[in-house]
Amino acid sequence: MNDYELVIIGAGPTGLFATFLSGLRDIKSITLEALDYTGGQIPELYPEKTVYDVQGIPRINAMELRDKMYEQAKMFNNEIALNSKVTDIIQSSDGFIIEVNGEKKYTCRAVLICTGIGDFEPRKIGCPGENEFYHKGVDYTVKDIKRFSDKTVAVIGGGDAALDYANELADYAKKIYVIHHSEKFKAAEKTLKNALSNNKIQVIMNTSVTKISGDNYIKNITLKNEIDKTEKNMDIDEMVIAIGHIGKANVFKSVKLETNATGRNIMVSQGYETNIKGIYAVGDIATIEGEAIHPLIAVDGGDAYNAINYIKKFLTPNASIFGGHSSNLNI
């Protein structure tokens, strides 16, 4: 007996909607998300943006949309586990064994891969000291904000993430330097305006970090002015590097999933099944017969609906593919 009928990998917009749909079709599922939050590209790449192209919602802040997707995903109490990176899918006699963070953890009959552009890895500066002082003053996200109380913090980057962090940290830190390699910020206007008007935040433009130094903990960074090429040292207590993330295509080593020519998308049939029976893929990661599927929330959502219906039929051959109208439910 398997732990679950279905394991959904990824809790971006597609995985969250698939989680809701599993509940709707009475499928016992768990959704595994590598990060410690849901929403995929939304919180990571465009939290401040307004989305206009989701049916029935003329305009909505992206994070508000994510929150609504999460609320909908939890409607039938299907499980969502965070910090759960699926590292392998192993075929068993009656389905699959799912390896999470390197450990064999769950068994299931079917798998739905919703890994989008892959799990995110922070983009690195690539300067000496960056790896050495990781978690010793150098971080890529702000998790425990109180840790920054009364500290001098260098925030690296010029996009939404960097300026958002600077604004958040300003409530706690003593001083924040936003260090940006170019002469132009790429953040939302409101975010930028807040940062520029905060007297705890000082921006240093056209400047790169070339070295990170310290003893057991970060103490100092070397800054290079990209215009006159001069270098100077700056004493700091903490550093947050927020220069973006890199999406990595997923490879589950025990199953040979067929991909398209770029190797970045998993090939699926019209029924969203991969070349391996019982493993399905949908959303930004999937491609039908090599053709690009438009990477949009509404399109991915429609595909997720179809995929879950096909999965229901796979799990329960007597079930019909169409599960009925939700407006008939009395919940």
Residues that bind ligand FAD (CB under 6 A): 9-15, 32-35, 40-42, 45-46, 49, 51, 53, 85-86, 114-120, 250, 283-284, 295-298, 300
Of the two residues 119 and 139, which places its CB atom closer to ligand FAD in the complex? 119
The residue (of 116 and 129) whose beta carbon lies closer to ligand FAD is: 116
CB nearer to ligand FAD: pick between 191 and 250: 250
Q: List, in sequence order, every residue forming a beta bridge with 316; answer none if it has no partner.
A: none
Nearest distance from C-beta of residue 298 to ligand FAD, angstroms: 6
Shortest Cβ distance from residue 319 to ligand FAD (Å)? 25
Distances from the Cα of 329 to the Cαs of 23, 129, 323, in angstroms? 12, 58, 11
The minimum distance between CB 120 and ligand FAD, in angstroms, equals: 6
Tokens found for residue 308: 């879950």
Alpha helices in 84-159 (DSSP H): none
Q: Which is nearer to ligand FAD, 237 or 284 (CB)?
A: 284
SS3 49: coil
Indicate the residue among 33 and 238 with the shorter CB distance to ligand FAD: 33
Q: Is the Cβ–Cβ distance between 93 and 230 less than 8 Å? A: no
In the complex, minimum distance from the CB of residue 54 to ligand FAD, in angstroms, rounded to a whole number: 7
In angstroms, the CA 82 to CA 131 distance is 25
CB of 287 to ligand FAD, least distance (A): 12
In DSSP terms, 219 is beta-bridged to none
State the Cα–Cα distance between residues 295 and 100, nearest whole angstrom. 26
- Count the alpha carbons within 13 Å of 4 in the hemisphere toward its beta carbon: 26
Phi, psi of 111 (to 5 degrees): -130, 140
Q: How far is the CB of 118 from ligand FAD (least distance, A)?
A: 5
Helix axes 297-315, 13-24, angle to 10 degrees: 40
Q: What's the CA gap between 211 and 230, in Å, rounded?
A: 14
Least distance CB 106 / ligand FAD (angstroms)? 12
Shortest Å, Cβ 323 to ligand FAD: 21
In whole angstroms, the minimum distance from the beta carbon of 136 to ligand FAD comes to 25
Distance CA 199, CA 319 (A): 63
**Residue 204 phi, psi dihedral angles, 5° rounding:** -125, 110
Q: Which is nearer to ligand FAD, 114 or 311 (CB)?
A: 114
| C-beta separation of 114 from 29 below 8 A | no
**Closer residue to ligand FAD (CB): 19 or 207:** 19
Beta carbon nearer to ligand FAD, 45 or 205 = 45
Nearest to 111 by CA among 199, 22, 196, 40: 22
Burial 212-239 (b: 16+ CB within 10 A, else e): bebeeebeebbbbeeeeeeeeeeebbbb
3-state secondary structure of 67: helix
C-beta of 49 vs 313, nearer to ligand FAD = 49
